Chains A and B, each alone.
Chain A
Amino acid sequence: MKKESKAKIIKVSGPLVVAEGMEKARMYDMVRVGRMGLIGEIIEIKEDKASIQVYEETSGLGPGEPVETTMAPLSVELGPGLMGGIYDGIQRPLDIIRDKTGSYITRGITLPAVNRRKKWDFVPLVKKGDEVRAGDILGTVQETPLVIHKVLVPSGIEGEIRVIKKEKFTVTQTIAKVRTASGLKEIRMLQKWPVRMERMVQKKLPPEVPLVTGQRVIDTFFPVAKGGTACIPGPFGSGKTVILHCIAAWADADIIVYIGCGERGNEMTDVLLEFPKLKDPKTGRPLIERTIMIANTSNMPVAAREASIYTGITIAEYYRDMGYNVAVMADSTSRWAEALREISGRLEEMPGEEGYPAYLGTRIAEFYERAGRVICQGTKNREGTLTVMGAVSPPGGDLSDPVVQATLRTVKVFWALEDRLAYMRHFPAINWLNSYSLYLDNIEAFLSKEIASDWMKLRNIAMAILQEEDSLQEIVRLVGKEAISPGEQLVLETSKSIREDYLMQDAFHEVDVYAPLEKQYQMLKVILELHRSSKHALEKEVPLEKLLTLKVKEKIARMKYIEKKDMSEFNSIEREIKREIDNLIAK
């Protein structure tokens, strides 16, 4: 008979379980709770009593049931086979769970996250006798048609390769042997890493290249850099999830990790069903082949929701270490913070603002700080980036919410969503006056070299027009349109065009959903060119009404539907502007 460990449950309160007889317990170790063997994590220790947050529903659990520590921290499995997968908050494969247990999620299931049986074609990049250290690439595996998985030397190993073979391996077979100072070490493709620990890098660098999302309001006005951080706070119905989905689909990252944290089940299903159909713009392969999903929907156990964002970001770091540009989307960090609050409340900790624990700000900052552009470990000085974008769902859309405020103190890009814009069906409903990006200076050099030298100049002119509109609108509201000069009315007309023909973008239109940088530049140039020459015409005493009813305006309104192959159309629009206005001046 198996000897029962003497650690026993003494209290059950929702997802929190207290056990006694836990002398061996270490903070953040994983434990098995009760006869069902539910998975939990130690989050507080008082003498021999340990508080455990349990990642599964706890009903049916009672005092006296055994608790077993695994003596290892909560970790994720890393290796080929993750790509295209969907996992719950503690990295259990949801698709395999469904095959095993049916449509509903039941308890006490343990399944490996990475397929143990599948054989991968391992191609070595180093040979016998080579000196390697942690972070060096041993070889590659074609994980999906879109992603080459690079097998890295695990952390803590340094020495000479003794054996390495080109062969088909499962993730648990030995692919190489390395002679280190402390003896011969076997290396397997499967590695583990504790989720709450940042993976090591050589050094961090400031971000310099924009993450191109194809969303005009983001790329032109409030860009996020590869390796940067951004947040999208907004009330419900303002389109946070639609924007994140668009970015996940179109952003020019190599790998996407999408964390559905306490959100709707149908949204994850949407990603699951849509991404295999959407094609990568560069390769034409399905987007799912570069996407990993972590789904802990709102009705799944609350403690696993707390873990889900760490699970997601650790997987993202692993791919970053291979030298990829990885983007993480967390939807929504507010639900994660609420999980933190629930556990904190049950631990009877002293609450801070709105009942959130006092360490909320620290936890949020720690999470976003795992983003960055880095020189990866290893001798080759590979560069990788990890971009983190988080949705925040403040109660009532109120930005004074502690989660929003703590997030804004950390992140560098703020996309302010507004329900007022959403009601007007202005999508994406990002307010152009309140949002900001602190990466404009970082990426200016890249944009002027790659796209156009006057990119930033155009952007700033457009921004100034939008700003001027705001102050003019106030006057118009008080005294009517007639009270302002024709020049000012022209500003209103142009800003309207910027709003409707440029900022508004239809996420459900096949062409408009993604605007490459080149197209964005051309569009903005056309709008501003019309503004410039109209201003000139006004000086030549052309009546304003004539300028407001130019025929070319119709074409400008349909610019967003111009396909990539028809880029020359922009030139013809510009010529038309010139022709029409010259005609007016000549009259």
Chain B
Amino acid sequence: MVKEYLTISHIAGPLILVEETSGIKYGEIAEIELATKEVRRGKVLEVTGDKALVQLFEGTTGLNVYQSRVRFLGKGIELGVSLDLLGRIFDGLGRPIDGGPKIIPEKRIDINGNPINPTARNYPTEFIQTGISAIDGMNTLVRGQKLPIFSGAGLPHPQIAAQIARQARVLGKEEKFAVVFAAMGITFEEANYFITDFRRTGAIEKAVLFVNLADDPAIERIATPRMALTTAEYLAFEKDMHVLVILTDMTNYANALREISAARKEVPGRRGYPGYMYTDLSTIYERAGRIKGKAGSITQIPILTMPEDDKTHPIPDLTGYITEGQIILSRPLHRKGIYPPIDVLPSLSRLKEKGVGKDKTREDHGDVTNQLFACYARGKEAKELAIILGEAALTELDKLYAKLSDKFEEEFIAQGEEENRSIEETLDLGWKLLTMIPTSDLKRIRDEYIEKYLKQSNQ
């Protein structure tokens, strides 16, 4: 029989202290029954002698020291998984909110997962075509990668995420594909956008949604991404599916983490975030990947909004150190009316080199990308110079580069929300832009490719 404790002695923020306990384990789950018979869940954060510190996922509002009962369940938080999860919508703690029936689990899995043994990993090399030129051409996504979108308030990251979820596919293969979507602290409207979009395109059939809204308890957000990733691991490594996980918005997650840390009166690190935030975030991001001998894969696209568009803020900063690159959205591009407003220069896909080239995309891909980067950077530099010194100060060549960079933004980066460009279309578009400058300036492209592809574009 499970023991019940009536010995809460202290409540602060999301934390409660339970005394006179025995046999409590670090990390186990507790159920707290309020006087109203409402049951909330929490997790043991620290045990000292007979005292246990418990963090409540649904907050402590309405909790009373004398009338609340605490039961410790002797295990971590678990999620019941089965293939029936597909097509369903859950709250941040995995309870159905779409009016559908309860899930009859095939098995229950601890949501914290275990680290993947580095020797068991398979290196991601398969190109994923998202149909977005700024990603496919310049910052290529590969299967098993974790590539976050660094956005800002008011930028169209939901549209980009939805477009990726809709269009992403691996060339030349028909495989089982699924999307796991975790919303943390986003607004109803934003969540509704995703749900409607998934329903409209039929993607919902192959999707699992975990939704923690802005007015849901902040602490619940700690569990939400782990619920999603546990589902993803089940689908990928037990059911051989290729899973795309979208996590939005990691900024809200990190703020929830800070809230708990502050309530525990821990020594804060930068901007009040706990010193262990790097480790904590890594236990989420590192759950992406491929495993040797398993057919499935987990590709992660976490989305975060940078406070004040500041890339050095701890949340984007620590994320960038863990993830394999980043897609950065730019406010100036957005103001110019360019969708998707992806700033390709500071964006980066670390796994790109292994995912592009012959037999994967096209042999000239790497060189074209490098050349476009160099040209766009030079063109932007020339334009900056022109602002200070006037356009007359530019050399003829620099004027060409300036023009090229404008065209690059208008034609290459910009595309429609429903436009799905193949990688060939993207690369050909790149070649078309490169014809604007003298061939002798194409220093980063091998001669044989210039021979082969530039002529085609000139015709």
Contacts and interface: CB of A to CB of B under 8 A. Distances in A.
A256 interface: no
Interface string A86-127: 100000001101100011111000000000000000000000
Interface string A37-79: 0000000000000000000011111111000000000000000
A18 B135 CA distance: 50
B99 to A, nearest CB: 34
A523 B210 CA distance: 58
Interface stretch (A144-152, A261-269, A575-583): A261-269
A12 B124 CA distance: 38
B275 A345 contact: yes
Nearest to A332: B321
Contact of A355 (B122, B269, B314, B385): B269
B303 to A, nearest CB: 17
B320 A423 contact: no
A396 B404 CA distance: 31
Contact of A354 (B113, B270, B351): B270
A302 B279 contact: yes
Interface stretch (A160-168, A171-179, A293-301, A484-492): A293-301
A508 B49 contact: no
B114 interface: yes
Contacts of A272: 118-119
Given A59-B76, A272-B119, A423-B345, A266 B47 contact: no
Contacts of B22: 64
B279 A105 contact: no
Interface string A453-496: 00000000000000000000000010011000000000000000
A341 interface: yes
A12 B286 contact: no
Contacts of B293: 103
Contacts, number: 193
A103 B117 contact: yes
A541 interface: no
A106 B377 CA distance: 47
A481 B359 CA distance: 46
Contacts of A342: 275-276, 279
Given A60-B25, A103-B237, A423-B346, A10 B118 contact: no
A266 B276 contact: no
A213 to B, nearest CB: 20
A57 B28 CA distance: 13
A130 interface: no
Contacts of B47: 11-13, 62-63
B225 interface: no
Contacts of A94: 117-119
B178 to A, nearest CB: 20
Contact of A295 (B118, B287, B292): B118
A397 B310 CA distance: 13
Given A10-B49, A103-B116, A351-B267, A237 B377 contact: no
B46 interface: yes
B29 to A, nearest CB: 10
A10 B351 contact: no
A61 B119 contact: no
A236 interface: yes
Contacts of B291: 103
Nearest to B312: A396
A264 B45 CA distance: 26
Interface in A176-222: none
B118 A86 contact: yes
B123 A270 contact: yes
Interface in B278-302: 278-279, 282-283, 286-287, 289, 291-294
Interface in B113-134: 113-124
Interface string A328-344: 00000001001001100
Most chain-A Cβ atoms within 10 A of its Cβ — which of B47, B294, B346? Answer: B47
Nearest to B120: A103
Nearest to B385: A477
Contacts of A554: 440
A12 B312 contact: no
Interface in A266-304: 266, 268-270, 272-273, 295, 297-300, 302
Interface in A420-439: 422-425
B10 interface: no
Interface stretch (B86-94, B251-259, B366-374): B366-374
Contact of B46 (A12, A265, A351): A12
Interface in B46-92: 46-50, 76
21 contacts: A11-B48, A64-B23, A94-B118, A97-B119, A103-B291, A236-B317, A265-B121, A265-B289, A266-B124, A269-B118, A269-B119, A297-B286, A298-B279, A341-B269, A345-B267, A354-B269, A355-B268, A355-B275, A395-B314, A397-B312, A425-B370
Interface of A: 10-14, 18, 57-64, 86, 94-95, 97-98, 102-106, 235-237, 260, 262, 264-266, 268-270, 272-273, 295, 297-300, 302, 335, 338, 341-342, 345, 351, 354-355, 393, 395-398, 419, 422-425, 477, 480-481, 500, 508, 554, 557
Interface of B: 22-28, 45-50, 76, 112-124, 144, 237, 266-270, 275-276, 278-279, 282-283, 286-287, 289, 291-294, 311-314, 317-318, 320-322, 324-326, 345-346, 348, 350-351, 353, 366, 370, 373-374, 377, 385, 388-389, 393, 440, 443
Given A63-B50, A264-B324, A424-B374, 8 more contacts: A10-B48, A11-B48, A61-B25, A94-B119, A105-B116, A266-B124, A396-B311, A424-B377
